[in-house]
Amino acid sequence: MRGYGKKICEYLLLWLVGGCLYFSFEVVFRGFSHWSMFVLGGICMCFCAWQGSVREWRDPLWVQLLRCMVFITSCEFITGIIVNKWMDWHVWDYTGMPLQLFGQICVPFMLLFGALAGLGIYLGGNILWKFFGEKKPHFFLI
C-alpha cells in the first residue's frame, strides 16, 4: 500500500480500535454507551497516534498527554453541545460534578481522559509501527 490508501487504512484501523475500546470502557463502567461515543473514541485515538507520529515521537510523554487531554476534552465539549444540547439525546450530564462547564465537561473527567490518552498514545503508536511499518514510537517522561 502506498500514499493516501495506506494512510486511510492506518487511520480507519485506529478509529475502529479507539471506538471499540472507548465504547467498551463506557459499557464496563457505566453499564451502557451511545454510538456517538464510538465515533468520538475513534477520533480521539486517531489524534493520539497522529500527534506522536507527526512529531516523530520526540516530545516527552507528559507533553503528549497534555496535548491529547486538551484535544479530547475539547472534542467532548463540542460533542456534548451537539448531542446533549442541540439534539437533546441526553448521552451524559456532568452538572453535578465539580468544576463543570454547561454539564458537558468537568475536571475529574478531563483527568480521566488524560489517563486514557496514555493508552491511546501507546496503542496508537504501536499499531502504526507494527501493522503499517511507521516509525517505532519512543516514550520518555522528560
- What does each of the 142 residues of the chain score in pLDDT, given as a tens digit? 577 899 999 999 999 999 999 999 999 999 999 999 999 999 999 999 999 999 999 999 999 999 999 999 999 999 999 999 999 999 999 999 999 999 999 999 999 999 999 999 999 999 999 999 999 999 998 8
Residue found under cell 497522529: 50
Q: Tell me the pTM.
A: 0.94
What pLDDT does residue 9 have? 97
In the three-class reduction of DSSP (H, G, I as helix; E, B as strand; rest coil), residue 45 is classed as helix
> d(Cα 6, Cα 141) in Å, to the nearest integer?
30
Nearest to 45 by CA among 12, 78, 70: 12
Query: How far is 121 from 52, CA to CA, in rounded Å?
Result: 7
Instruction: Supply the pLDDT for residue 142.
Output: 83
**Measured distance CA(24)–CA(125) in Å, rounded:** 21
Q: Are strands 100-101 and 105-106 parallel, antiparallel or unpaired?
A: antiparallel
pLDDT at 14 (0 to 100) = 99
Residue type at 110 in one-letter notation? M
The reported pLDDT for the residue numbered 1 is: 59
Cα-Cα end-to-end distance for the chain: 35
What's the Cα-to-Cα distance from 16 to each of 24, 40, 45, rounded to whole Å? 12, 11, 9
